[in-house]
Chain A
Amino acid sequence: MTDHAHEPPWIRPGTTLRQVTDDVCGRLEGRPGRLWWGGFLLSLGMLGIGLVSIGYLFLTGIGVWGLNRTVGWAFDITNFVFWVGIGHAGTLISAILLLFRQRWRTSINRSAEAMTIIAVMCAGIFPLIHMGRPWFAYWVFPYPNTRGSLWVNFRSPLLWDVFAIGTYFTISAVFWFVGMIPDLATLRDRAKTGVRKAVYRALALGWTGSTRSWHRHETVCLLLAGLATPLVLSVHSVVSFDFATSVLPGWHATIFPPYFVAGAVFSGFGMVLTLMLVARKVMALEAYITKRHVDVMCKVLLAMGCIVALAYATELYMAWYSGNPYEQFAFRNRLFGPMGWAYGVMVLCNVLVPQALWSRRLRGNLLVVFGISLLVNVGMWFERFVIIAGSLMRDFLPSSWADYAPTLAEIGTLIGSFGLFFTLFLLFCRFVPAIAMSEVKATIAHEAHEAAPADGSPPPNAADRPGARAAEDALAGGAR
């Protein structure tokens, strides 16, 4: 925040507070455009393919997937980890960047959080449907029961997943909703028709906009941000334990928790970029999501890409240094074995392609950035696939080595998860303010203040009101 004065502003100059409200709310109040309908129907179609695939799976059995006695997980858990990873950027942006007072987050945090919640919902499907008997999925919860009080196995990483993801989803959803209350109140106040007004009234929880409300609201947001921050790190660490605590060469690695977290943030930012670039264009939000936002996110993406590259290199080094022949074979096989092409795709997309972002010119070319963000997502999907299916295919006893190829039902389920994701995201864009109006307004005010000659008077924006300031200081104190 040191050289903001020399940078272009986060919000296009001259944007008034009223204009923000009109820009954001106006789109929700009008009829959706052709582009939205087109996207929505396409997404619904994809979702339909997924529902058919899952329905067929439930009716017939896990055998409709290409798994076998050697490869027990492939697309299912790959998709799960992929979506959980996507779900990382939202909370990182809204919670950690809030604590670090990164003002640029205000334009994107709402949609990034929505993306998080939707991605975690997409992720949550897979542990459920990958079970042989999904109708007994509730057995993974430790609840008092009459079966001789059968308990769950607290040593199983799958159980840790249940808690880690459950907690993460709950906190993310609550954080998202609480942050949205002032904006929902704005929508309520603008709503004309009865149903619309009633729904938004209910959702706004009687928000009055009083100073006391604002004070409490800001405090709760900060507290939730504080709670959410460790979860960003814990969720994917726990997901990585699914693999790290196993005996399988290629899974059994102590580097996995940080490696997976970095990868998750990487893929999350990739997906945020993809969505923001589309939303910016389609919803004409250029005033709020500026090139400067994109530039900053590209830098984060590049940094994360480098961390991921370091993790890949460390993995290879450790395989060599460990002297463990199983480990060594697993990695030679990963690079040069039958799935070597997938490893190539992963390195290309996750390590080589993001290096283009060192160039300021390329960071400014939104088409290039869009392409890179898509490739990062592809690469991160392949990373999980290489780790999960690739390691299983050739483990200890050569007699059991087996290949894997996905079936139509698996591909359909993957398509369906994207369908669910985009369907929910498009609904989000239609019914919820995609830009956090109150926070953007604060940023506008802040920038107006910084652009004006410094006169020592406190900036007239909400976030800098004394109460909020105190809380923010208290929470962010450790980071200073």
Chain B
Amino acid sequence: MTHSPLRWTSLAERDAMLAAAGATSRDPGMAAPSAATAHEDHAHAHDDVRTEASSGPAALDALGSAASDVSRRTFLAAAGFSLAGVLAGCGRAPTQSAVPGSTQPEETIAGISTWYATTCGGCAAGCGLIVRCRDGRPVKIEGLPAHPISHGGVCAVGQAQLLSLYDSRRLRRPTIEGKESAWKDVDARVVGALTGVRSAGGAVRVLTGTVTSPSTLAAISGFLDAHPGGRHVVYDALSASALLDAHEAAFGARILPRFRLERATVILGLEADFLGTWISPVELTHGWRAGRTLEGVPPKLSFHAQVESALSLTGSNADRRFRVAPGQLGSFVAHLAARVAAKAATSAPAPADPSPVPVEALDDLAGRLVRARGASVVLCGSNDLDVQRLVVAVNQAIGAYGATIDLSAPSFQRAGDDAALAALIDEMEAGNVAALLVAGCNPVADAADGVRLAAALARVPTRIGLAERADETTAGLSVVLPAPHAFEAWDDAEPVAGVLCVSQPLIRPFGEPRTLRECLAAWAGKPASDPALVRATFAKDVAPRAGGTTTPERLWRQTVREGFLALRPRPSGAKAYDAVSVASASPRATAPAAGRLALVLGPTVGMLDGRHAQNPWLQELPDPITKLTWGNAASVSPATAGAANLSDGDVVRVAAAEGGVFIELPLLVQAGLADGVVAIPLGYGRLGTDRFAGVGPAWIEARPTVRKGESVGRNVSGFLRLVGGAVAYAGREVTVTRTGARDALSLSQTWGSQDLPKALAPRGHERRDAVRETTLAAFSTDPAAGNEAPHVGADLWSRDHATPGARWGMAIDLGACTGCSACVVACQSENNVPVVGKDEVRRRRDMAWLRIDRYYADVPGSPGDVDVVHQPMLCQHCENAPCETVCPVLATVHSADGLNAQVYNRCVGTRYCANNCPYKVRRFNWFDYASPDSLADLALNPDVTVRSRGVMEKCSFCVQRLHEARAEAKRAGRPLADGDARTACQQSCPAQAIVFGDLNDPKSRVAALLRDPRRYRVLEELNVRPSVGYLTKVRHRDGPAKGASHD
């Protein structure tokens, strides 16, 4: 019996399905244990009660197979169906209406949220989620607090998975040669083709991205066992191939080590954006944050240095940052290795070229790494095998393996092999592949040689693809099958050794998707559906590793309820360190020829490898560094731009010096880039993104977000190529020439510095101090360093806001905040913030209630280098709120719990409040912002009003969540405890930079933080008395505190 040929026949049916969909509880730790099995029964039941009984033998089979375990519900449903059939036959028109929830499914109460633990499908990192469902549909994604990988954090991409679920462009039914077909026809055709291949001895290939699901891997290997000579080719669009290969050379096993940053006091990142995009950002952010708590004596603050050519989110958070062009990275690592070896009394090849960074800085860095032996780590994101080998040698020399780098319980979050994909393309071009199954990846768009692959596809007789959406790859396949969203299917994952994560369906699938497991099972002639397939692997492979004495059944229920299960990791196979194979050669420095620039390609926080290009939340999410939305741009440093006479918005032609690849893109002058480098984000320019042509309001002066037939941004993966068996993301020589055209950039922030324009700055007040910062040296002697109290004049305000109960307030730790923007999407999801489109962002009309201000500061004596700060900015809920006094109709007022409340239905839209807001956090509904997609309205939070045109809106401190928490406490008959009420931004922050609570409760965490000497309030001198406090940013540096003071 298959799971997939199902459709809702009524809302009631869907509700019943959902009620059964796994463990249900408001608290994932306290779920009803019976739910998981209940779902299984219901899955069968609903299979059987399709009204489309005419859909053929498959349905009859299903009925037959379910007949053996007829439950009460199955019986009643079948009886109801029969009655309906009889009535339909009586000549009366069939009843079209559905009565949702008139008989309430168990555990679903209208208007009450239910929370389900599951696992994020946004990337291979495998973060734990709890998803809030209301009335049968997921409406909000949150982090699963106890999860051993994500620790309660969710990134921006994870948050946005909700909108990906409600996407009308997802594939719903299988197609054969572009024609919609039934699954049975697909199965027949595929089985027929595969039988032919097998008898002819043809080669079968399965091409996927990294797969962390044990059951899927088991299914693939089972499938390949049936096809002798078959191979599973794994590639990653954002490859860590060289990292894996280097560890294979050094330790005899191709494994991705797990980085334990929480154990590190010295962290060196080399082209590794581990806080933003690299491998597992939420996990690594948590670890990074754990070393920077500033607790204890001396204050706990790890030293983080970053070496990179482009400015990454991670680099923007580093204590020390070196700009090194891609051609110089190898030379840098060689010098570092030599110095570390000298200090640690090991050996390393002598560097061949001069060091790209000052020798003293290198010495200092090497000294720190060696002194912190066992607590230092080097993370390298370069995909150059020579560089990675040297980094392994450095990590070995500083004792990182076994301490800050875990080889015994490694990570599986990247398993791709660039060379394997290249070999596959060669095979295909030679006509040696008889059947290709592409599942869950889009290599034509995102792999090196994607163009060659697209052409080679035509030489494969049987081409099958399983994908959520039509994309560049499915365009070249003959059989295209719909894959489910992570919230529609059962799944398991072991992203890191010893942690099993489970996903459970949260909603009845839209359309008729099938998981890869189900497809392979069907084609192997042993059709089965999830969760049976997942559970089979669980019982056979997982449960024995869990230890303990519980039965697999109980263990499964527990795992579904909690979302994850700790296991004994399988032996990783890592052998003793083999020095000989590692420290072979010293990489040479290269530099582009005169007049050429070195190209650096990389992911952005929102788009990653482009798999989420169809998600408008992520398209509109300002890049944490560039603040660019809706597209990519070619970034060059101010010096490089000046030399080439380029400015923001110039459309430039970036052309590879060899190979004939070129692209035209707008230019963005980006501080902090290495000179002589042009950086372009990957992941844009995807097929079908012209669907967003209609995003944003239509009016006479509107420009479309994307023109019909074009795409959002430009795909630059054509510049990727294989160098030494690994995809080279950086270093390709290009020329950059101006085309003469202009394309205004849609930036959410245009003034990037706290420094006032030089010609206009009053003497002594050249810098605004919205963000205050200090050094570790200054902080150690004075915790209030860099945090001068401002002068607040005489107060004419009466303290007339009584807050008898709670008074809500927030503390934001700027030392912890990395700017990753998870909170921005969390807020958008929780509060129904609309998507406004490219042109509206360009007009500075983005609607974000919570934005992240990013400021650059020049580093004195180091031209071209910048310090970066990120500051989440939201309504400050001022006690003396300037907005409240000026509203003529009292549409914004103070609540008894200290909130500055906005009353939408009273607002007439004078915008006076926004003008008078010093923080400029109020957002006006310039138009009626329609949903970008017909299904997207299902993602709306039913607890939050959707604002109409002409009214002002702003952060409410998630007032609906406060009320829910209060009601829950009242129901439980206890007072509201600290931490009961959490705002959406706080909940998903991977760095736990945001703390929210009751300021009237002196024992609350927020009250304690607001007594911290680091606490300051932005624009305190205005005496608006904000309820949000910020903690100064402390950098691990020597020297005095930096920061402007007023008066």
Contact = CB atoms under 8 A, between A and B. Distances in A.
Contacts of B890: 150-153
A329 B915 contact: no
Contacts of A137: 908
A247 B1022 contact: yes
Contact of A247 (B908, B916, B1047): B916
B922 A399 contact: no
Contacts of A162: 888
A295 interface: no
Interface string A140-184: 100000000011110111110010000000000000000000000
A376 to B, nearest CB: 27
Nearest to B913: A72
Interface string A107-132: 00000000000000000000100111
B819 to A, nearest CB: 12
Given A139-B889, A155-B885, A132 B912 contact: no
Interface in B910-937: 910-912, 914-916, 918-920, 922-928
B915 A336 contact: no
B889 A398 contact: no
A468 B749 CA distance: 66
Given A61-B949, A140-B888, A131 B920 contact: no
Contact of A246 (B840, B854, B916): B916
A156 B950 contact: no
A72 B914 CA distance: 7
Contacts of A246: 882, 886, 915-916
Contact of B920 (A133, A151, A395): A395
B758 to A, nearest CB: 11
Contacts of B906: 139, 150
A132 B950 contact: yes
B51 interface: no
Interface string A63-92: 110111110110000000000000000000
Contact of A133 (B697, B846, B950): B950
A130 B1024 CA distance: 27
Contacts of A333: 757, 760
Interface stretch (A265-273, A400-408, A444-452): A400-408
A66 B770 CA distance: 28
A378 to B, nearest CB: 25
A61 B950 contact: yes
B700 interface: yes
A392 interface: yes
B907 interface: yes
A60 interface: yes
A398 B756 contact: yes
Nearest to B951: A132
Contacts of B583: none
A333 B882 CA distance: 23
Contacts of B949: 61, 132-133
Interface size class on chain A is 35 or more
B754 A329 contact: no
B762 A328 contact: yes
A421 B505 CA distance: 66
Contact of B751 (A56, A151, A329, A398): A398
Contacts, number: 197
A62 interface: yes
Contacts of B795: none
Contact of B908 (A132, A325, A408): A132
A130 B950 CA distance: 10
The interface centre, meaning the residue of A150, A153, A392, A398 with most chain B CB atoms within 10 A of its CB, is A398
A337 B749 CA distance: 18
Interface size class on chain B is 35 or more
Contact of B886 (A157, A337, A392, A401): A157
Contacts of B697: 60-61, 63
Interface in B857-885: 871, 873, 882, 885
B855 interface: yes
Contacts of A395: 918, 920
A242 B911 CA distance: 12
A62 B886 contact: no
Given A67-B926, A132-B925, A132-B950, A336 B853 contact: no
Nearest to B923: A69
B768 interface: yes
A329 B908 contact: no
A332 interface: yes
B844 A68 contact: yes
Contact of A398 (B753, B840, B948, B1022): B753
A121 to B, nearest CB: 20
Contacts of B915: 72-73, 246, 248, 392
A325 B762 CA distance: 6
A342 to B, nearest CB: 15
A397 interface: yes
B851 to A, nearest CB: 8
Nearest to B920: A400
Given A150-B890, A329-B756, A396-B768, A158 B844 contact: no
A337 B758 CA distance: 11
A397 B701 contact: no
28 contacts: A61-B699, A61-B949, A62-B950, A63-B697, A63-B845, A69-B846, A72-B915, A136-B908, A137-B908, A139-B889, A140-B889, A150-B889, A158-B887, A159-B888, A246-B916, A248-B916, A325-B762, A328-B765, A337-B760, A397-B853, A397-B919, A398-B768, A398-B855, A399-B749, A399-B751, A400-B853, A400-B919, A407-B701
Interface of A: 56, 60-64, 66-70, 72-73, 127, 130-134, 136-137, 139-140, 150-153, 155-159, 162, 242, 245-248, 323, 325, 328-329, 332-333, 336-337, 392, 395-403, 407-409
Which 9 A/B pairs are nearest by Cβ-Cβ distance? Answer: A132-B909, A132-B950, A63-B926, A325-B765, A72-B911, A399-B853, A400-B920, A68-B844, A328-B762
Given A63-B697, A127-B910, 4 more contacts: A132-B910, A248-B915, A332-B762, A400-B920
